[in-house]
Amino acid sequence: MKTIQDLKDIASQVRRDIVRMVSAAGSGHPGGSLSSTDIMTALYFSEMDHNPATWTRDAKGQDAFILSAGHLAPVYYSVLARAGYFDPKLMGTLRKFGSDLQGHPAIGHVKGIFQPSGSLGQGLSAAAGIALAKQLDGDPHRAFVLCGDGESEEGQIWEAAMFAAHHKLDNLVAITDWNGQQIDGPIDSVAGVGELNEKWLAFGWDVIVADGHDFESILGALELARKKDGKPKMILFKTEMGHGVDFMAGTHKWHGKAPSAEQCEAALAQLKETLGDY
């Protein structure tokens, strides 16, 4: 069982991985990857029942995770590698020609990826399908999905929301990285989604709001989401884009921008190495 300090240490390494990967690639999306790092760390190293040794894409016998916001691939690849799904050295090939680690997750390259993602808005539908299949199969495991708040402007998100509530998928745990930023600027200045908590409640979901950078808050929210009451769960984690690196924090400017070599070193100086760089 991981302690809070264990999770903090893993998250620090994951942030280092993100910065190094994107800098070496010369392209990628560090901002949202950094804002969702603590959430992803808690999922893969504390909450989810999963095992890379027995992983299969049919998702039977263990929890499944779908990354709906596919541009957050750097954090996804890091937690998968650190959890044992593939050799961490592979992270150094992100976005390189012929690499298994493409700019957005694709199936058939590395273990752990159930669904390709790139076009926003589709992952919640995929996770709802997995959750329904598990219910029909009598599989007690759950489906988890990470969405973005900017992604929540996509209509398919709300189609999936209706589907999940209609089918009473209380084994579906959706998570929104609520950092208030998207590539064109603050969410509210682009196509504001308003009060997400009220929207999800209106769609018939259980809604939990928590601090996405406090592990006690994250674990507490995930515990509440285990409730079996016939309703799908939405956890809205309040986060900060670029969290953990002072010059990236709180701005959309690092949504899809790679740090230079000098900026990479400045960022790494702020992040503790705990598991060993790849």
Q: Would the pLDDT of 144 be above 80?
A: yes
277 within a domain of the structure (yes/no): no
What is the chain's percent helix, strand, coil content, to nearest 5? 45, 10, 45
* pLDDT over 70, % of the chain: 100
129 within a domain of the structure (yes/no): yes
At residue 216, the pLDDT reads 98
Q: Would the pLDDT of 191 be above 80?
A: no
The stretches of 36-146 forming alpha helices (DSSP H) are: 37-42, 73-82, 123-137
CB 94 within 8 A of CB 74: yes
At residue 176, the pLDDT reads 97
273 within a domain of the structure (yes/no): no
At residue 140, the pLDDT reads 97
119 within a domain of the structure (yes/no): yes
For 230-256, the pLDDT digits (tens) are: 999 999 999 999 999 999 999 999 999
Per the structure, how many domains does the chain have? 1
At residue 116, the pLDDT reads 92
Q: Which domain holds residue 140?
A: 4-268
95 within a domain of the structure (yes/no): yes
276 within a domain of the structure (yes/no): no
The CATH number of the domain holding residue 163 is 3.40.50.970
Token digits of residue 65:
């995770």
CA distances from 190 to 68, 158, 177 (A): 20, 18, 17
CB 18 within 8 A of CB 37: yes
275 within a domain of the structure (yes/no): no
At residue 186, the pLDDT reads 81
61 within a domain of the structure (yes/no): yes
What band does 195 get if pLDDT is binned at 50, 70 and 90?
Answer: confident
Within a 10 A sphere around the Cβ of 56, how many other Cβ atoms?
10
